[in-house]
């Protein structure tokens, strides 16, 4: 696996830079369930032959994704300079990602019940089964659902505004309380927060959402 070091970061960068979200890439490549990408994006598994064929057909540089080496036969000084600049940019992106991981580790001292990952279109890309269980849904029921649709209509504009505000530099919104739609169409108040993982190029980001505790069953309505 050492020869594929950090391939998952390069894979995520390629997908977000070209498609904006994992869900959009899956739709474009004919992948039925975005969750199939989870092992690759977490670095738990190296993409196999079929996945590499999909990526290559999509226009990805496979050598770069797997090994960090550009498939480029030009070796002049100009190319070396461009490569050096690119490496610096990549190192900056990696530092930001490590910082985000550290921020999450520091925050996770506070108990949370479930989490999910949203693409920049706020569609549920990755989530634990606990996320669905927490809100009373069957397994797979929330796949491809917009996160905004989970929020009470009266509070939805404020939540969407919070996500938009995060694009201007604020990496996290803390101590939010909103009404979430349960599987039986009731709404329950939930403490939650999110982190915006902003990448080093325009309009490329993802959000990590942490759900805390429900607030008093008596406030369900």
Distance CA 156, CA 100 (A): 26
Q: Based on C-alpha coordinates, what's the Rg of the chain?
A: 19
Enter the DSSP assignment of 174. E
pLDDT digits (tens, 9 = 90+) for 56-112: 999 999 988 988 876 544 445 555 555 555 666 677 777 766 766 666 666 555 567
Q: Among 40-49, 86-95, 121-130, name the most confident range.
A: 40-49
For the chain, domains (ranges, CATH) are 2-67 (1.10.260), 110-219 (3.30.450.20)
Question: In sequence order, what are the beta bridge partners of 116?
Answer: 127, 209
pLDDT digits (tens, 9 = 90+) for 151-163: 999 999 999 998 8
Distance CA 190, CA 209 (A): 12
Q: What pLDDT shows up at residue 186?
A: 95
Q: What pLDDT shows up at residue 115?
A: 83
**Closest Cα to residue 41, out of 14, 73, 9?**
9
């Amino acid at each position: 696996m050492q020869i594929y070091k950090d391939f998952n970061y390069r894979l995520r960068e390629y997908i977000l830079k070209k498609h904006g979200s994992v869900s959009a890439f899956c739709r474009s490549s004919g992948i039925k369930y975005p969750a199939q990408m989870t092992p690759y994006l977490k670095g738990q598994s190296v993409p196999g032959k079929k996945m590499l064929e999909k990526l290559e057909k999509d226009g990805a540089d496979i050598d770069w994704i797997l090994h960090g080496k550009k498939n480029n036969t030009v070796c002049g000084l100009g190319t070396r300079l461009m490569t050096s600049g690119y490496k610096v940019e990549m190192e900056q992106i990696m530092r930001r990602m490590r910082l985000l991981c550290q921020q999450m580790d520091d925050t996770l001292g506070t108990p949370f019940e479930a989490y999910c990952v949203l693409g920049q279109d706020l569609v549920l890309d990755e989530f634990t089964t606990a996320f669905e269980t927490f809100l009373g849904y069957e397994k797979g029921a929330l796949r491809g659902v917009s996160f905004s649709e989970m929020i009470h209509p009266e509070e939805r504009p404020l939540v969407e505004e919070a996500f938009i505000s995060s694009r201007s530099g604020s990496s996290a919104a803390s101590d939010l309380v909103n009404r979430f739609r349960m599987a039986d169409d009731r709404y329950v108040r939930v403490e939650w927060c999110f982190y915006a993982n902003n990448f080093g190029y325009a309009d490329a980001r993802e959000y990590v959402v942490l759900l805390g505790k429900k607030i008093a069953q008596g406030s369900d309505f």
